Structure 1
């Protein structure tokens, strides 16, 4: 039977994917500055056996719409936005199994201090950390982080070329600098770390020169589970080299299935298989005890949509100023330097359906759940629909956005999870171990370290190879 997985999708801000819904009386996204909001959410998700909480992030503003940040500020469209890293420490302290997917950009921080920050979090979460690698797509973020005299073209594929080297530095630090048995902590000899088992990485590349050693001892996973969300041609190549979990977003089953097929082919080219990666699709569930109650809830939620806010986000994601369009203009002929897969998904799905999306339809679609579809119904009906999405597209599970928080997640746990569990399609317990071990628990030889065919493994000295890091083989989960 199909095993369906869930992640929760959130961001340290007011409006993440559903502009206007912050005004709903049951929405608590305005409590994002209250740590209790986050710890309560983490504990709720763990009761529903979610794989993890995926925290999105941006460092820039959605200021393409109207060539100004005004619309984003009015709608609270991912601004104000706070740093997601401190949240992970607090949520890990009140949970035992929930994973955490942390988003940070490769363009905005040097890899040497970042490597320490991630090792620290992997230690503090007992190895429940994942890192969502983003290259950045908002020009305002690049403009505000450039050093004097630095030239940043911010061209789409160039960002990935830079990210490849960024990860090379990190892999050398995380995997290659310390032997697994370098820490002796021997009170008799007085030696804590054996210097002979720690080595400098001597990296000299196009963008970075990092000669020294990693300053943190090996964490439970060494390299965190690598998440990736780019589905463009260059992004999927990057994912095939690095990702262990991939987040994809598309408005239709056909477009989503095409993305999965492309990724599968790229994995084969990289010497990996589809079973080496867990694929989650962005999706929002609106559910209740009955079909009628769910539909009424969805209609109520839609009455709160801020369409200008939706177009503000869509402008940033698709790299086009929708304020310059009429609402009934078709979404065609767009060339993007932002999230190219977002543009391609809407244009491809239009061709598949024999029609063109209009700007008005894009605004309505993106009003709840952003670039992903919305599924509405009773627990039984939603379970049927999710099964159909999995069968039609080949995804492993869903990255669940919310209409209202935490209510949308609580509804899924109350109405959908029990149905899927009764069908044998959803976990009733957590697998032991690190996040990597939990995600790949059904595969022979899964351990806390990256498998041998992952690009990080080539930087690993022989002394770190153990039974915990043998190749993953066998059937998919």
Structure 2
């Protein structure tokens, strides 16, 4: 029996700032990213993406700024390298108001939040968007952010994941276990809005967080938001295997994507979940047009505005290495780092061992894989990545806003649809249901499911535990 062709999932990859991934392109005359601080910029973008049937917009964020390269922030400020940067979460209500199906993957750094108040923020947005919220869980990677939060510097790499584990355990208890599904009845005649016996106090005593309170928000459509994660270090793989539903990987070719994908899916299986519980996305840039010649001409135009040094400064923050201290052809020493361990590993694996070789990777202001061609050529490349790389989709980076995503929607989407590789309409429902087709809630194998209460009238629900088990779990420290 022939296997059905896998649909390709696409997120627009963006950030609430001028320069995100492809540094220098904000100077292009057709680019609108300097308007990032206006609502119209975001509402127009959201409507464009929904017309293109994108899964969602994936909004990166960083708490802090890039001051590793040249041991300062001057180049970062001049080039607008993710600075200034605004809060991505405050954009969602406006974008949700002008769309019906578009999902929102939002980055939040664990160390910058308290799980008790953060859980309420997420529940609020999930309610307002009717279940379209995802959280990209990050642990931080720049010392400047830690200093801004009152610390001397970042905690050790694995310790940051330990904090994230504790953060999630408390958040899961609040989202999944504090309020039963039938708690809110809003009975005006009896003057009963919420049944007190169906709202439970969460007792949590962890290594980093403690709480003894009920969740402040009633259950949202998804309860726990769709969970994204991007770490591929050894500790990051373990964390993703336990918690993630969507994982964002960096890969230079389908072979590298396949290697990462298999490790991630095995990590999920090792954690008692299923391989298909993960949707895996690679970062990619696409430059296209009606013809190959038009696409190549556009690409050459983009190159003229890109800043390879801006890309190098961004990468310096990712690795914790000040590349400015090296001559062009002097070998770079990638020692132990407290930043993104996988970034340094990838650079060494690719042979990017001198500043000259690194700059060659950043001709478009970024090291991301760039696909240039007509619709057929781009579709061929994307399907190859999906089929040979064993991934599920892409985070499509912006080069020129909104041109990048308009071109993809008008040229690439129809070609993929003709091949049966892209949706022709939204299915409806929550972001989780859009991606997995199995309802709004986390799967029964996910660790958060242990905190659920049984559905009234049944001995158990999908992924629930007994009343006694939930009561015991909520009382556990």
Normalised by the shorter chain, which TM-score bucket? over 0.9
Instruction: Name the residue aligned to 1:19.
Output: 23
Structure-2 separation of matches of 1:256 and 1:344: 15
Alignment of 1:437-448 (within 5 A): 437-441=433-437, 446-448=438-440
Structure-1 separation of matches of 2:313 and 2:420: 41
Q: Which moved more, 1:388-397 or 1:219-228?
A: 388-397
Structure-1 separation of matches of 2:314 and 2:454: 47
Structure-2 separation of matches of 1:90 and 1:364: 39
Q: Helix, strand or coil for the counterpart of 1:449?
A: coil
Instruction: Name the residue aligned to 1:80.
Output: 84
Alignment of 1:58-457 (within 5 A): 58-146=62-150, 154-331=155-332, 333-350=334-351, 356-368=352-364, 370-441=366-437, 446-457=438-449
Report how far residue 331 of structure 1 moved: 4.9
1:43 to 33, 44, 47: 47
Preserved contact between residue 45 and residue 98 of structure 1 (Cα < 8 Å): yes
Q: Quickly say closer, same or farther: Cα 1:393–1:36, change in 2 above 3 A.
A: same
Identify unmatched segments of 5+ residues in structure 2.
464-477
Report how far residue 32 of structure 1 moved: 0.1
Preserved contact between residue 244 and residue 277 of structure 1 (Cα < 8 Å): yes
Structure-1 separation of matches of 2:366 and 2:198: 48
Task: Please give the TM-score of this superposition, normalised by the length of structure 2.
Answer: 0.93
Preserved contact between residue 323 and residue 332 of structure 2 (Cα < 8 Å): no
Q: Quickly say closer, same or farther: Cα 1:467–1:314, change in 2 above 3 A.
A: farther
Preserved contact between residue 250 and residue 342 of structure 1 (Cα < 8 Å): no
Q: Helix, strand or coil for the counterpart of 2:112?
A: coil
User: How big is each residue's C-alpha offset from its partner over 1:218-275, in whole Å with a ceiling of 9 and x where there is no partner?
Assistant: 0010000001111111111111111111111122333222211211221111011221
Report how far residue 66 of structure 1 moved: 1.1
Report how far residue 367 of structure 1 moved: 4.6
Instruction: Name the residue aligned to 2:471.
Output: none
Structure-2 separation of matches of 1:228 and 1:282: 13
Q: Quickly say closer, same or farther: Cα 1:367–1:167, change in 2 above 3 A.
A: farther
Q: Helix, strand or coil for the counterpart of 1:326?
A: coil
Q: Helix, strand or coil for the counterpart of 1:33?
A: coil
Report how far residue 451 of structure 1 moved: 1.0
Report how far residue 467 of structure 1 moved: 12
Q: Quickly say closer, same or farther: Cα 1:153–1:139, change in 2 above 3 A.
A: closer
Preserved contact between residue 97 and residue 430 of structure 1 (Cα < 8 Å): yes
Q: Quickly say closer, same or farther: Cα 1:306–1:375, change in 2 above 3 A.
A: same
Preserved contact between residue 309 and residue 365 of structure 2 (Cα < 8 Å): no
Structure-1 separation of matches of 2:345 and 2:108: 24
Report how far residue 426 of structure 1 moved: 0.5
Structure-2 separation of matches of 1:140 and 1:70: 14
Task: Please give the TM-score of this superposition, normalised by the length of structure 1.
Answer: 0.93
Report how far residue 386 of structure 1 moved: 0.8
Preserved contact between residue 450 and residue 469 of structure 1 (Cα < 8 Å): no
Report how far residue 368 of structure 1 moved: 3.2
Preserved contact between residue 284 and residue 369 of structure 1 (Cα < 8 Å): no
User: How big is each residue's C-alpha offset from its partner over 1:142-171, in whole Å with a ceiling of 9 and x where there is no partner?
Assistant: 11112xxx6765211110010000000100
Report how far residue 303 of structure 1 moved: 1.5
Structure-1 separation of matches of 2:73 and 2:102: 35
Q: Quickly say closer, same or farther: Cα 1:465–1:177, change in 2 above 3 A.
A: farther
RMSD between aligned residues:
1.8
Structure-1 separation of matches of 2:195 and 2:12: 42
Report how far residue 205 of structure 1 moved: 1.1
Q: Which moved more, 1:27-36 or 1:335-344?
A: 335-344
Structure-1 separation of matches of 2:370 and 2:328: 22
Q: State the aligned residue count.
A: 459
User: How big is each residue's C-alpha offset from its partner over 1:67-125, in whole Å with a ceiling of 9 and x where there is no partner?
Assistant: 11111111100000001111111000000000000001001111111111010000010
Preserved contact between residue 369 and residue 403 of structure 1 (Cα < 8 Å): no
Structure-2 separation of matches of 1:363 and 1:466: 61
Instruction: Name the residue aligned to 2:474.
Output: none
Q: Quickly say closer, same or farther: Cα 1:365–1:53, change in 2 above 3 A.
A: same
Q: Helix, strand or coil for the counterpart of 2:283?
A: strand
Structure-2 separation of matches of 1:466 and 1:18: 53
User: How big is each residue's C-alpha offset from its partner over 1:387-435, in whole Å with a ceiling of 9 and x where there is no partner?
Assistant: 1111221110110001111101111111111100000010000111100
2:56 to 44, 52, 55: 52
Structure-2 separation of matches of 1:322 and 1:170: 39
Instruction: Name the residue aligned to 1:475.
Output: none
Preserved contact between residue 282 and residue 371 of structure 1 (Cα < 8 Å): no
Preserved contact between residue 227 and residue 244 of structure 1 (Cα < 8 Å): yes
Report how far residue 450 of structure 1 moved: 0.6
Identify unmatched segments of 5+ residues in structure 1.
351-355, 472-477
1:30 maps to 2:34: yes
